[in-house]
Structure 1
Amino acid sequence: MTTSEHGAVPGLFTLVLHTHLPWLAHHGRWPVGEEWLYQSWSASYLPLVRVLRALAAENRTHLLTLGITPVVAAQLDDPYCLQGMHHWLANWQLRALEAATTRTASGPSPASAPEALRRFGSREHAEAERELVEFDAYWRHGASPVLRELIDGEVIELLGGPLAHPFQPLLHPRLREFALREGLADAGARFAHTPRGIWAPECAYAPGMETDYAAAGVGHFMVDGPSLHGDTALGRPVADSDVIAFGRDLQVSYRVWSPKSGYPGHPAYRDFHTYDHATGLKPARVTGRQVPSADKAPYDPDRADAAIDGHVADFVDTVRKRMRAESERIGRPAHVVAAFDTELFGHWWYEGPEWLARVLRALPAAGVRVGTLSDAVRGGYLGGRVDLPPSSWGSGKDWQVWAGERVADLVQLNNEVVDTALTTVDKALARAAAVGAPTPRNPVADQILRETLLTVSSDWPFMISKDSAADYARYRAHLHAHATREIAAAAAAGRQEQARRLAEGWNRADGLFGALDARRLPVA
């Protein structure tokens, strides 16, 4: 497939990936907890970087726009998590070796039959070995230097976001401003690049937030397609600001991943849900959407490889047709944005990283110009001003997932905890200022804000509303709320030494965002 065969397509295509997990370190291992981090790291983050490095070696740049939330960046740089990840990779290799040398069936599926499992285990062992070598070579000092190289080389554009991924429309304005500014500063410190764009948590928007974005130096952000009434062919300045909203093109994005269909469900691809009980590996292919786990066929990499080629061709054709149609509709070259969670590629869809590599080569060969959101701004892919409605990319495209009846208790909890935190921190800082000398750093106030931000993470109501590890989500929300209240109560009562000890104790588990400084909290 060459450009000369197909002809150049008018417009620009942008792939946006949103990388996010909640803070998981020190908060359980299995079935929800650190295992989630290490699975995503090994299955998605390492392969994605491998793909981007390979494409960069081919002198390809401006490949995609990569959102990395501060809470993920914190975990990928954290010494405890780095050590845990290395142990996890080594354990994966041992489990693969066990599979490769098995002599008995260890599960109900034909994929767990001895011969099939041995073949699968040998491939897994080689893959685990490759990741261990790559981890030692590139990742042992954290993700920041790895990603900075890609940003410096203009292979990717970085999107940032607020600390701990709060659902911003429901957050107190002072804490919302603080979380965003601190989140952007966190990215600047890690990557030596302060993002100009953000992926707003859950693509959530409330009228007026564009003013906050402009004040923080944010020039563009993502919303879901319905926020723009499906007209996503151009970025649009929001209200009276110069801040640009880019909308996800659902027609293209859902071709890959949708609530009802998408490439990952193809019978040839590895099945995410079927485990070999003895090793914890996933040796089966999807086989069929209605096929029970006990009847899943063994994974066949050659069959999967052929399916990848078919889906690459289908996606390229979809993008070309969409760009032509949208360009004709608006009478000028259009901008098409496909956006996904990064964890789709590899963690949920094993073949996803290889599909990405082939797509990012195939699109330019087919006459499609690929660029970042910043490229779209510079290229003038901008339309008229728009007034956005309250919205998100959740069910119903409104706020129901984070503010609905199922999570009304969490909304109330968040409001109470935030009020307690702001009141306590204000008083603590006022006492220090009254002394007359420069206000010193206050670790107690810092930890109160840190625990508060973890309390209001958008992950907890999402998991509850979707009934996905809902008990864990409620436990985490209430745990961080308890931490906030416990420290705040001691501080408010004047028990400063006890407050300090409590803050230090909670910080051992929740010590992320070391540069967080309560003195930068906006004044009331």
Structure 2
Amino acid sequence: MATGDLALVLHAHLPYVHSSEPGSLEEDWYFQALLECYLPLLEVLESAGADPLQRPRLSMGLSPTLLSLLSNTELSARFGPWLAVRQELLHQAPAGHTAAAANVAQLLGRASHAWQLCGGDLLPRFQRLQQAGVLDLLTCAATHGYLPLLRDSPEAVRAQLLTAVREHQRLLGVRPQGIWLPECAFYEGLDRLLVSCGLRYAILDAHGLLHGQPRPRYGVYAPVCTPAGMAFFGRDSESTLPVWSARDGYPGDPSYREFHRDLGWDLPADELEQRGIPCPRPLGLKLHRVSGRDCSLDAKQPYEPGEAQRCVQRDAVHFLQGRARHLQRLEGAMDRRPLLVAPFDAELFGHWWFEGPQFLGALFRQAPSQGVGLVTLRETLSRGDALQLCQPSPSSWGQGGYHNYWLNDSNAWVIPEWNRASRAMVERVSRGVGSEAARELLDQAGRELLLAQSSDWSFILKAGTTTDLARERIQRHLGRFWRLLEAIDGTAPLPEGWLEEVRREDALFPLLNAADWTRLPAPPPPP
């Protein structure tokens, strides 16, 4: 039996994709994540938590923008009709895909029933799981801003953090202690800002700890603490690769469901238009299996749910046995209980890898018999073990390990725009707010600045997918920001109805406080 623990950590995040018009591509992102990821994950966690023979434990970040979407009643009202359209379109499934179509129909039906049962409000379900000790809920930066690239104005970083903490407490009822740093990105001095905002622990990629000063005695197999009082956990790549990699890991198994082949690409455009879908796009109706590493999309075979389920059980046991062997090796080399930290994007489980929630359910069932203890990050710290003092290294979990995915030829143009807007916000707030009307305008300017800073748009620009959408979103929010600042100073009055429309579209973070951008005192000189 291994003596050690495994901490599974998921990060659930979507950019703020609320649209006043139903049927948008961005709305599809959210609804597909609900259908394939968030609802199935809750179902698995609740089922495991109700079983006295299991001890499910999971740390999970819920980004403030995702919380805003989950609490949006207008969006919630659209999800049922969205499901109904897909139930209708599923009747167009080609012959030979009976089992796959039945599997999707069952998924749609369960989602519809679960949505009605909770009144379209998932947040109480997350709260109950945290109260039961199953979940340790973390926050994130307000709009998933890539913090190392906002550091030119530390007030901008502080505003991202304070807004996140308030929103988490408002919607989930407790102040967060842990944070999933966007892209696990860290820079020198960030730990002091995190602690000043009431946060106590976060996750970094392995090199963030291994290149720290001094190098941690236990590597990534125990948390460290900075002199400012912030604890950091390091990612164990050996525990993430089998799950993360579509090519070399479990999701690439020929029996699992194929992500890229979707009925939305196969149906006639006029069939889609009749149901309010303006052009061919993924619908979340996937009927094929991976079939083989080099198999073309046209040659994919029908999905067989029974065979995929057998693979899930096999892969869960294989994963746990690998972790048990790893812990046994560490046990002989450490004088404390070793910890394996395995962080993932939550959307991997169900959206990108359809069987992912079932895999987690199998892990929860099998972990006791395989000798692997499951823990949350908060549980680990609550044991009171002494932590080594260490100053982590600048790092991220992005391609290249540092900041180049968010700072390159495709997206570098936005960095000076963020910085110019942040400096203007700090300067205007530090002069004093003035009237109540000016305060409201300044608060809305803060929302637009935060929305423009979302790392999702920079990521899309680099990835080269929906680049026009990403560029338009950045420019829209920055344009609104500057217009609001001009209106505050009286240089350009707002057109009639403009402010109301902006507030309706960007109606998030009701507790946002423009004072968060008040100029910070200069840091003391180095000794």
- TM, length-normalised to structure 2: 0.89
**Pairwise CA distance, 1:123:** 2.8
- C-alpha spacing 1:11/1:381, structure 2 compared with 1 (3 Å): farther
Structure 1 unaligned residues grouped into runs of 5+: 1-6, 100-111, 433-438
Partner of residue 149, structure 1: 128
Partner of residue 243, structure 2: 256
Deviates more, 1:499-508 or 1:213-222: 499-508
- Using the alignment, how far apart are the partners of 2:497 and 2:439 within structure 1? 13
CA contact (8 A) 2:162 2:516 kept: no
Q: Secondary structure at the match of 2:373?
A: coil
- Using the alignment, how far apart are the partners of 2:416 and 2:403 within structure 1? 15
Deviates more, 1:279-288 or 1:214-223: 279-288
Partner of residue 381, structure 2: 377
The reply to whether residue 286 of structure 1 matches residue 290 of structure 2 is yes
CA contact (8 A) 1:27 1:34 kept: no
Partner of residue 160, structure 1: 139
- C-alpha spacing 1:296/1:447, structure 2 compared with 1 (3 Å): same
Partner of residue 181, structure 2: 200
Q: Which amino acid aligns with 1:509?
A: E
* 1:450 aligns with one of 438, 447, 450: 447
Q: Which amino acid aligns with 1:235?
A: P
CA contact (8 A) 2:97 2:303 kept: no
Partner of residue 470, structure 2: 473
**Pairwise CA distance, 1:27:** 7.7
CA contact (8 A) 1:334 1:381 kept: no
Q: Which amino acid aligns with 1:334?
A: P
Partner of residue 104, structure 1: none
Partner of residue 70, structure 1: 64
Write the mapping of 1:49-128 to structure 2, written as runs, cut at 5 A: 49-59=42-52, 60-61=54-55, 63-99=57-93, 112=94, 114=95, 116-128=96-108
- C-alpha spacing 1:289/1:381, structure 2 compared with 1 (3 Å): farther
Write the mapping of 1:201-216 to structure 2, written as runs, cut at 5 A: 201-216=182-197
The reply to whether residue 508 of structure 1 matches residue 504 of structure 2 is yes
- Using the alignment, how far apart are the partners of 1:130 and 1:137 within structure 2? 10
The reply to whether residue 328 of structure 1 matches residue 332 of structure 2 is yes
- Using the alignment, how far apart are the partners of 2:453 and 2:44 within structure 1? 34
Write the mapping of 1:351-500 to structure 2, written as runs, cut at 5 A: 351-380=355-384, 383-427=387-431, 429-432=432-435, 442-495=439-492, 498=494
Partner of residue 256, structure 2: 269
**Pairwise CA distance, 1:332:** 2.7
* 2:37 aligns with one of 44, 55, 66: 44
Q: Which amino acid aligns with 1:255?
A: P
**Pairwise CA distance, 1:306:** 1.4
- Using the alignment, how far apart are the partners of 1:30 and 1:398 within structure 2? 36
- C-alpha spacing 1:376/1:190, structure 2 compared with 1 (3 Å): same
The reply to whether residue 518 of structure 1 matches residue 498 of structure 2 is no
Q: Which deviations, in whole Å up to 9, do the C-alpha atoms of 1:270-314 show, x marking residues without a partner?
A: 000012212842110000121111111100011111111111111
- Using the alignment, how far apart are the partners of 2:499 and 2:21 within structure 1? 20
Q: Secondary structure at the match of 2:332?
A: helix
The reply to whether residue 233 of structure 1 matches residue 221 of structure 2 is yes
Partner of residue 186, structure 1: 167
Q: Which amino acid aligns with 2:125?
A: V
Q: Secondary structure at the match of 1:246?
A: strand
Partner of residue 435, structure 1: none
Q: Secondary structure at the match of 2:394?
A: coil
**Pairwise CA distance, 1:358:** 0.5
The reply to whether residue 310 of structure 1 matches residue 289 of structure 2 is no
Write the mapping of 1:5-24 to structure 2, written as runs, cut at 5 A: 7=1, 9-24=2-17
CA contact (8 A) 1:345 1:353 kept: yes
**Pairwise CA distance, 1:489:** 2.0
- Using the alignment, how far apart are the partners of 2:224 and 2:81 within structure 1? 46
Q: Secondary structure at the match of 1:401?
A: coil
Q: Which deviations, in whole Å up to 9, do the C-alpha atoms of 1:230-264 show, x marking residues without a partner?
A: 821000002x1221000111111111113742111
- C-alpha spacing 1:472/1:308, structure 2 compared with 1 (3 Å): same
Q: Which amino acid aligns with 1:184?
A: V
Partner of residue 174, structure 1: 155
Partner of residue 436, structure 1: none
**Pairwise CA distance, 1:361:** 1.5
- Using the alignment, how far apart are the partners of 1:340 and 1:359 within structure 2? 15
Q: Secondary structure at the match of 1:405?
A: coil
Structure 1 stretches of 4+ with a deviation exceeding 6 A read: 27-31
- Using the alignment, how far apart are the partners of 1:262 and 1:218 within structure 2? 34
Q: Secondary structure at the match of 1:169?
A: helix
Q: Secondary structure at the match of 2:410?
A: helix
- C-alpha spacing 1:178/1:500, structure 2 compared with 1 (3 Å): farther
CA contact (8 A) 2:55 2:374 kept: no
Deviates more, 1:508-517 or 1:197-206: 508-517
Partner of residue 103, structure 1: none
- Using the alignment, how far apart are the partners of 1:327 and 1:502 within structure 2? 63
Structure with the largest fraction of helix: 1
Q: Secondary structure at the match of 1:135?
A: helix
Percent identity (aligned)? 28
* 1:135 aligns with one of 115, 119, 122: 115
Q: Secondary structure at the match of 1:326?
A: helix
Partner of residue 247, structure 1: 234
- Using the alignment, how far apart are the partners of 1:430 and 1:479 within structure 2? 24
CA contact (8 A) 1:443 1:500 kept: no
- Using the alignment, how far apart are the partners of 1:293 and 1:333 within structure 2? 46
**Pairwise CA distance, 1:192:** 1.1
Q: Secondary structure at the match of 1:65?
A: strand
- Using the alignment, how far apart are the partners of 1:270 and 1:28 within structure 2? 31
Structure 2 unaligned residues grouped into runs of 5+: 212-218, 273-282, 521-527
Q: Which amino acid aligns with 1:503?
A: L
Partner of residue 341, structure 2: 337
- Using the alignment, how far apart are the partners of 1:468 and 1:303 within structure 2? 33
- Using the alignment, how far apart are the partners of 2:513 and 2:504 within structure 1? 17
- Using the alignment, how far apart are the partners of 2:261 and 2:136 within structure 1? 36
